[in-house]
Amino acid sequence: MSTTSQKHRNFVAEPMGDKPVTDLAGIGPVLGQRLKSKGFSEAYVVLGQFLILKKNKELFVDWMKETAGSNTKQASDCHQCLLDWCEEFL
């Protein structure tokens, strides 16, 4: 596994609860606002989409690009964050 950001480590370290979408690695204020405007205001809602896409990185990255206008790195960071969270808690 590549090195992860502090934001990533903080997210994966505890249950999700009602964390805002901006707590996900790769999601800052701008992407967070775009996701919120499409109904993805909490991290667990993005997790739901991640699971619907069967944890598939390519599908998730494409979805993030189309939905939030993210770049590949942002979407990949978010995917890895959710994948690591799932390995820890599911």
Per-domain residue ranges for the chain?
Answer: 6-89
Domain over 6-89 is classified CATH 1.10.150.40: yes
Share of the chain above pLDDT 70, in %: 98
Task: Tell whether the model's pLDDT for residue 1 goes beyond 80.
Answer: no
pLDDT tens digit string along 61-87? 999 999 999 999 999 999 999 999 999
Rounded to an integer, the average pLDDT of 4-20 is 94
**What is this structure's pTM?**
0.94
CA distances from 70 to 5, 89, 90 (A): 18, 26, 26
Please check whether residue 64 is in contact with residue 75, taking contact to mean a CB–CB distance below 8 angstroms. Answer: yes
Share of the chain above pLDDT 90, in %: 96
CA distances from 69 to 3, 33, 47 (A): 24, 11, 18
Task: Tell me, rounded to whole angstroms, the distance of Cα 70 from its chain centroid.
Answer: 11
**2 — pLDDT class (breaks 50, 70, 90):** low
